[in-house]
Structure 1
Amino acid sequence: MRQMLAVVGVLGLACVAGCGADGGPVATAPSPASSSAPPVTPSEPAGAYTPPTPARSVPVVRTTPTMLSLSAAGTKYLQITRPYNVALERFEKAANENMSLTTLQARAKAVAAANLAEYGALRSTVWPAKVSTQIRALAKADAAARPHWLLAAAADSKSEMADHVQRASAAGGKSPSTQIRQLLGLPKYNEKDYS
């Protein structure tokens, strides 16, 4: 049955090709040169396929973020620092209430995560020149405190945790947050705002 279809197909093609003898255009098969498949070069084995080169993509236009105004910087600063301040106050409250080691570990882990988020947001924002130096110093203090918070989260005892918390506090304790608040016209830090 397959041979019969093949014979019929070949005869059909021969008839179509022969029909061009009445003066009309002659139907021909496309030449290998006009084929859309890339040519096989002598260095390639027979039957090798070279994938087509990808089309060029549209260039991505990158815009430089604009510098914040002092007013916008104050709002952005409070937005960025709030989660870290809340996490610190929650940890402090748990420590003051002598909560379990497991609870303190979870809170210390939350402090470390909030610290990392604050660090990233501080560094990715274009701050006004008036506070840019202090913001960089705050990000540096965050980076110095973070490893100690991670160690506090992994501590095996409350005394070991207390040691790491003290080191975290010392590393980030000289942070310029008070000066940043003054320069941005923000109120002084009040722990009640974050507890």
Structure 2
Amino acid sequence: MLQTQTQLFMAFLRIGLFGFGGGPSMIPLVHQEVVKRHAWMDDEAFADVLAIGNTLPGPIATKMAGYIGYRVGGSLGALNAVIAVIGPIIIAMIALLGLYARHGDQRWVQGMGQGVVPVVMVMMAKLTWDFFTKSRASLGWLVTLVMGAIAGGLIYWLDVHPGLVIGAILIAALLRPESQQATSETNK
């Protein structure tokens, strides 16, 4: 129990320390810790948590930390993971806003934020590729590309909130009738 709580705290502390750029940049770090390093869940479960987390209000990093912490270590694990992920953020915000208030006109201060952007871009691209590969394996090329194009069109061109798009897909999946083959296999 103590070992699990320690692992949870350290995993989400690393995410909180290195998740520059906010929630979206933390998602690949959460994936690395939760799926690859500790194997607390597989890619499919992680994608489900991410999808459902995106449909709910609030920061994605704290929602994921709370759920994963609860799943791995119960109520104490949820509290532990949330504190670990937000602690460094709170301390960094206080320190950086103080620094910015004093030295905001300095080039080196302005360059700090700009220097992180390419790294976050690469992290998000890798996560996107991983999700594309998983989607292609389960749905096929055509369905993956069509769903991606429709979702992209709704989100970027029609300005539909991503949570609504994900929610609609989840509802459609829940309401989809089972195929005859799946029904006949479960009846055997």
Where is the helix percentage greater, Structure 1 or Structure 2? 2
Q: Which entry has the higher C-alpha Rg, 1 or 2?
A: 1
TM range (shorter): under 0.3
Instruction: State TM-score, norm by structure 2.
Output: 0.26
